[in-house]
Amino acid sequence: MLGLASSPRALRWLSSGVRTQARARALTPAPAPGRISRETAPYSTVPLSYDLHEPAKPVADKQTSPVIFMHGLFGSKKNNRSMSKVLARDLGRYIYTVDLRNHGDSPHHHQHDYPAMASDVAEFIQQHGLKEPTLIGHSMGAKTAMAVALQHPELVANIVSVDNAPVDVRLASDFARYIQGMQKIEEAGVARQADADKILEPYEKSLTIRQFLLGNLHRPDPAQPVQKFRVPLSILARSLDHLGDFPFKDPSQVRFTKPALFVRGTRSKYVPDDVLPLIGQFFPLFELADIDAGHWVISEKPEEFRQAVIRFLEPKE
Residue 252 annotated in active site:
no
Per-residue pLDDT tens over the stretch 167-220: 998 776 789 999 999 999 999 999 999 999 999 999 999 999 999 999 999 999
Among the options 53, 71, 138, 295, which is catalytic?
295
Buried residues in 133-152 as b, exposed as e (16+ CB within 10 A): bbbbbbbbbbbbbbbbbbbb
The CA distance from 84 to 223, in Å, is: 34
* Chain centroid, CA 272 distance in Å: 18
The pTM score is 0.86
Phi, psi (rounded to 5 degrees) for 195: -70, -40
Q: Is the pLDDT of residue 30 over 70?
A: no
- The pLDDT value given to residue 12: 32
Q: Is the pLDDT of residue 317 over 80?
A: no
Percentage, residues of the chain above pLDDT 70: 86
Domain ranges of the chain: 18-168+245-313, 173-240
Among the options 139, 161, 239, 268, which is catalytic?
139
Q: 126 vs 85, 148, 235, 290, 317, CA distance in Å?
A: 24, 12, 27, 33, 30
Q: Is the pLDDT of residue 262 over 50?
A: yes
Per-residue pLDDT tens over the stretch 115-151: 999 999 999 999 999 999 999 999 999 999 999 999 9
Phi, psi (rounded to 5 degrees) for 162: -105, 110
User: Which has more confidence, 1 or 239?
Assistant: 239
Residue 24 CA neighbour count, 13 Å, CB half: 25
Per the CB < 8 A criterion, the answer to whether 11 and 20 are in contact is yes
Angle at CA 121, nearest 5°, toward 21 and 58?
70
Q: In what order do the strands lie in the sheet with 260-265?
A: 18-23, 286-291, 260-265, 158-162, 134-138, 67-70, 95-98, 50-53
The conformation of residue 79, written as its DSSP 8-state character, comes to G
Domain 18-168+245-313 is in which class? alpha beta
The CA distance from 254 to 274, in Å, is: 20
Per-residue pLDDT tens over the stretch 69-93: 999 999 999 999 999 999 999 999 9
Which range (22-31, 186-195, 230-239) has the least confidence? Answer: 22-31
Q: Is the pLDDT of residue 292 over 50?
A: yes
258 closest CA partner among 292, 287, 221, 284: 284
Per-residue pLDDT tens over the stretch 94-109: 999 999 999 999 999 9
